């Protein structure tokens, strides 16, 4: 489920707010709650507000249950207690797909029975339930039957800058490179990639699927066309797995941390699939819903979009892709581009969402993915009756006895097993005969005569002392 937008700027732009994450392991989804209306003044308030924004009246106690958005997946979960579909990890690609526990069917696309992707999905993408989403693999297969088109003629007015010229020197307080000048990053892009026209095979085809992607093609001004040594198509999941985490799809080295301005190639320690899109001219659109449609139209060209969150108040949108490689390509392709109102978009990596519900969704998503990854590698994740002990099926634990500290007898939860019987059996097996208390006391009280009959011996095998009678 996506946020329901208002039809005009006079109303609250968001009609439903995420309030929690529910579902079984591998089948979580987001629960939404509608805005509540103040009974005193009639003002509309967001679901998480505890008091009216206008008259400060308290939120009605029954508002949470009455305003809950009952989606089909939530209704199914409340009725049956579980869902048929479940996330499963592919150990080869380290990506999630979906498996039906009843029919045995599996698919890459997120089933509509699971509902929309959670508002935050952690390290691993979950996909979209949008039936109109087009497979990038099928598009690439069609485009790779033709030669790549020359996007611009060599020597045109489009500026070719060496990579690294946009690095910022914190010591001198300015950018590096002779091609940089004040305000350059605020200029509209002079070219734009159109995969439907420009994509095709290049010299990288001879390398099979081991090549890197052309950053000039992504920005729309590669003048080599089919003679380029880099790929002129859209990235897929296999490309991300093949290239790895230490480089982006264009071959640039990723760093341990993000840059302070969240630009650049990104971080391998904190991989990000969400783009921060600023500079939207919100007054050129009738409603936040139109902004979301426009953002989706322009950004879903580059890959499968999981979630779009429009913050109309600050003219910003957050676009999350299922695959990190698609986000890397889109970041370069949409830099300084426009939507429908001749904007100059500022596209960077997004910071972590501070929303508590989003943080819980990330924690839950990463935990589910970790469990699925271990199960894919053959680790049994079913909890035993005693989680601290792994024993054979026919083993019976001995009776427990009380534990005491001095004269104080501890509660029942501090019980530990009574192992006296096991110790006596082990002692019998070691010595051949049990050691009686009378023998032990006689040995201690008989002085030299006792010492002549009994001898204390150390057993190196069991690392214990035992007594041997010479008589």
- 377-428 pLDDT, tens digit per residue, is 777 666 555 555 555 666 665 655 555 555 655 555 555 556 677 777 777 7
**Res 294 pLDDT > 80:** yes
**Res 466 pLDDT > 60:** yes
Which pLDDT band, with edges at 50, 70 and 90, does 440 fall under? very low
pLDDT of residue 92: 78
The secondary structure element, H or E, covering residue 331 is: helix 324-333
Buried b (16+ CB within 10 A) or exposed e, 294-333: bbbebbbbbbbbbbbbbbbeebbbbbbbbbbbbbbbbbbb
pLDDT of residue 180: 52
How high does pLDDT run on average in the chain? 77
Low-confidence winner among 78-92, 134-148, 190-204, 304-318 (lowest mean pLDDT): 78-92
Strand partners, 107: 98
Please state, in angstroms and rounded to a whole number, the distance separating the CA atoms of residues 233 and 218.
9
Question: What is the model's pTM?
Answer: 0.68
Backbone angles phi, psi at 15, to 5 degrees: -95, -15
pLDDT of residue 443: 41
138-181 pLDDT, tens per residue? 899 999 999 999 998 876 555 555 555 566 665 555 566 655 55
Strand partners, 232: 200
Please give the share of the chain, as a percent, with pLDDT higher than 70: 73
Please give the share of the chain, as a percent, with pLDDT higher than 90: 20
What the block records as the tokens of 442 is 């006689």
Domains of the chain: 16-114 (no CATH), 136-148+187-352 (3.30.70.330)
pLDDT of residue 379: 73
66-114 pLDDT, tens per residue? 777 777 777 777 777 778 888 888 877 778 888 888 888 888 888 888 8
What the block records as the tokens of 95 is 């990506």
């Amino acid at each position: 489920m996506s946020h329901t937008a208002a039809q005009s700027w006079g109303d609250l732009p968001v009609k439903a707010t995420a309030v929690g994450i529910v579902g079984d392991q591998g089948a979580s989804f987001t629960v939404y709650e509608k805005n509540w209306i103040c009974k005193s003044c009639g003002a509309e308030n967001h679901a998480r507000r505890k008091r009216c924004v206008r008259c400060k009246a308290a939120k009605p106690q029954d508002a949470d249950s009455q305003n809950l958005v009952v989606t089909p997946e939530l209704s199914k979960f409340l009725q049956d207690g579980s869902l048929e579909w479940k996330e499963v990890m592919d150990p080869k690609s380290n990506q999630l797909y979906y498996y039906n526990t009843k029919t045995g069917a599996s698919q890459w696309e997120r089933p509509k029975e699971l509902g929309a992707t959670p508002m935050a999905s952690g390290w691993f993408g979950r996909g979209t339930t949008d039936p109109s989403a087009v497979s990038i693999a099928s598009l690439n297969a069609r485009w790779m039957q033709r030669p790549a088109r020359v996007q611009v003629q060599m020597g045109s007015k489009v500026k070719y800058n060496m990579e690294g010229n946009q690095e910022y020197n914190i010591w001198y307080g300015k950018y590096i490179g002779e091609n940089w000048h004040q305000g350059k990053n605020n200029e509209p892009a002079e070219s734009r990639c159109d995969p439907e026209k420009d994509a095709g095979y290049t010299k990288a085809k001879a390398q099979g699927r081991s090549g890197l992607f052309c950053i000039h093609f992504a920005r729309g001004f590669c003048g080599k066309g089919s003679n380029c040594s880099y790929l002129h198509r859209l990235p897929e999941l296999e490309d991300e797995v093949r290239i790895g985490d230490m480089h982006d799809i264009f071959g640039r080295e990723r760093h341990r941390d993000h840059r302070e301005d969240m630009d650049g190639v990104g971080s391998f320690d904190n991989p990000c699939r969400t783009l921060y899109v600023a500079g939207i001219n919100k007054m050129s659109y009738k409603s936040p819903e139109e902004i979301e449609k426009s953002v989706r139209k322009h950004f879903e060209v580059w890959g499968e979009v999981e979630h779009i969150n429009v913050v109309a108040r600050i003219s910003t949108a957050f676009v999350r892709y299922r695959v990190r490689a698609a986000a890397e390509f889109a970041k370069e392709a949409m830099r300084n581009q426009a939507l429908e109102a001749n904007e100059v978009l500022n596209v960077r990596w997004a910071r972590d969402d501070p929303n508590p519900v989003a943080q819980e969704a990330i924690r839950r998503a990463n935990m589910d993915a970790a469990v699925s990854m271990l199960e894919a590698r053959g680790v049994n994740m079913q909890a035993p009756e005693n989680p601290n002990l792994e024993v054979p099926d026919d083993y019976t634990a001995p009776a427990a006895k009380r534990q005491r500290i001095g004269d104080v007898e501890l509660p029942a939860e501090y019980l530990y097993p009574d192992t006296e019987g096991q110790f006596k059996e082990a002692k019998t097996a070691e010595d051949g005969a049990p050691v009686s208390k009378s023998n032990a006391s006689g040995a201690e009280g008989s002085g030299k005569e006792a010492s002549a009959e009994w001898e204390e011996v150390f057993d190196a095998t069991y690392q214990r002392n035992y007594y041997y009678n010479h008589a």
